[in-house]
Structure 1
Amino acid sequence: MRHSMLCMLALLLTACGPNPAEKELARQIRSDRSLQQVDSMARAVIRQGLTAGSGYSQVWIRDLNTFIEVACEEMEPTVLREAILLFFALQQPNGEMIDGYVLKPDFTWEDDSPYYSDAAPDHVAFKNTVETDQESSLIQTVGKYVRATGDRSILDEVVAGRSVRQRMDEMVDYLLRERYDEIHGLLFGAMTADWGDVQPYDDFGCDMNEKSFPAIDIYDNAMFLLALDWLAELADDDARREHWAAMHDRVAEQARRHLWDAGRRKFIPHIYLGTRPPMPEGFDENQIHFHGGTAVAIEAGLLTPAEIEEVNARMVENVRLSGMPSIGLTLYPTYPEGMFAGGMSKPYVYQNGGDWTWFGGRMIQQLIAHGMVAEAYDEVRPMIDRVIANGGFFEWYGMGGVPSGSGHFKGSAGVLARAIGMFDAWVDERLDR
């Protein structure tokens, strides 16, 4: 009944057409040539290949997942299909999925535990095991590729004796066996800064080890929910579709129950499964607002429209208080100086409060998807302006908008191009009908 009423309301709104304020906003967005300039720049960067960006010789799945849709529009599908299948060729015997891969001659960095597979003899794989988003990222990538290209045959492609469908099932089995906490009904990884893949108190910081603090966070579980949605869409029979949908509903319920702080109207940073990491006296970790994980949680359908408005307003306020450039701000307030090693020990550096379009752009997408287009347009402006000013898509930005990391980071290019496409679709609906 509720669905029928919503459909009737949508039809009535469509029949009435856009209101004058919407039309004026649509005209403003359409006349903004900087959006098309950045879209063209983004597509040119993505056409250069599937590595994460300048300075990276590797193909990372958590990055590819965020620009695969644009890549499907700009590259030959066979190139993308082969790149995706190579991930499955490097899947480990226990079902575990890697972070990424590189040709053996380009494997030039120190790594105590590289991954190999007889099914991919020319490549070396690697994984930052503190994180729990690799399996979910690959499943999402497969789903986006199939939807964009119509190539469902990839699901039945056999890689080293097992189909892609079987291998995706095995990835979920791995997560439920190795990274699932029965008490909370949620996935866990190591304690990191929001969606980041670097843990504190560890010079290297990317591998689960004796220095790790196992913890549940919203990002890993929101990514898993999105993967379960895709598995349901890709299923080839009703029983499997219902299986994934039921698992999705259970995880979503547990995520809301255990991670949403109804009093503070935000997601709590972590649920610790063992010893809580040492924090400076008087520092309350639950004051931290995780921007990136929250954006992915919205995409996963975990927040109501009213809650989306609240967390967006909080993000904007956090940007004002921090002095950082945009809502790509990873988190606020930052973790205390010295918790993380290297430059990240400082506030507003890298994942400890750096500003990442890679995630800020996802929040822009969700604002558009939930009808908050005026807010989205206002909040995307710093991201658009800095691409033009700096002549590229930098990995992250520091205090004062200083660009850092890869200068042509494809994750940033992909999320902005997709957001611009969503703006265009919204404008077309209001001006061209």
Structure 2
Amino acid sequence: MTTNNLDIINELESSVRSYVRSFPTVFTKAQGYKMWDEAGKEYLDFFSGAGALNYGHNEPSMKKKLVEYILDDGITHSLDMASTAKIDFLNKFNDVILKPRNMEYKVMFPGPTGTNTVESALKIARKVTGRTDIVSFTNGFHGMTIGSLSVTGNSMKRRGAGIPLNNTVTMPYDNFVNDESMDTLDYFERFLEDNGSGVAIPAAVILETVQGEGGINAARMEWLQRVEKICREWGILVIIDDVQAGVGRTGTFFSFEPAGIKPDIVCLSKSIGGYGLPLALTLIKPELDQWKPGEHNGTFRGNNMAFVTATEALTYWEDPTFEKSIQDKADTVTAFLDDMIEKYPAMEGRRKGRGLMQGIHSDVEGFSEKVAEHAFKRQLIMETAGGHDEVFKLFPPINIDEDGLQSGLAVLEESIKDAMESMNLDKETAKQ
């Protein structure tokens, strides 16, 4: 039966589909960190909707609130009209997230997806500063619409635009040249200082503190702090794209918190809706909120069902032990990945990322893809990242229990062994 249904996908769905190629089965049910397919097979989900399901599938308290809201004929669609669901979310987001962190932002609802929030961030930065150029960084990924693609590094995705992508300048991300003695920001600063560089003073810099699609590259805290310092000196706005790395994925609600920086604009989507329902926020410092009414809009910017689940999701963050639990689980993942690198040197691996956004970069061509392939055969869902899919990465739900985490890690080790065997890597070098 599964084969027949996949035949329908192959026959009727566009060739642009991607994840169904990596996970060739038909899923029917999901709960927490588990999914089931038509054949009744149970899978461990360490993919989490590419970071859109930080709290897992069908989280019970969010599901209850959502069902109650629907059965009570709550507003589903309202553009940006006022609704009780929106007001509840704004109040709770301000009380639970912004105020305790001494943050003051206006909350913009730009449309339902990550690329919507990035597009709005680029537009307001250009509007406020009167400048046109945006500085982005190598291996960055910010979305699939034209503005977001212009600040995305992946050449294959950029080619999909079909037109030149202008008014952006790409600078090297932290450790891009694999030389710890070189601070890539020296290069950036030199461009700003030299009138012959060909680089105009930009409106903004946009970056991910941990580059998800680009290879789980984590910037050092001091590098992020220097980015902010340079931008303040030159009157350049700082945009942090926290679409994937935010909402607890790296251990704190905002990924930039450990660096102590104060971005001018923050982009949030994916897990901000809590339940996997589409929602995006653009957080703008009040003095920069210079939009004219309706100057940026979208039909689905008022997703009230997502407001309901997003509000309930913030309940997790009322308890300070929740954040600590994420960090404890991240320590477990870090120790496990370091152990794998030491235990199986033939995969030529090095650990990437931080929090529950980590993986192993393998210098063996095709190895990471093989690990993900064998993991799926063992009913563990995970994916790869990087320009050549050279990193296999772990994105378990941030509220996963210890048994679930350990079960997934055990399957991953077996998948590493499978990949080594299938590629005839030197098993003699594996430490028993």
The TM-score by the shorter chain falls in which range? under 0.3
TM-score (norm 2): 0.27
> Which structure dedicates a bigger proportion of its chain to strand?
2
> Which structure dedicates a bigger proportion of its chain to helix?
1
TM-score (norm 1): 0.27
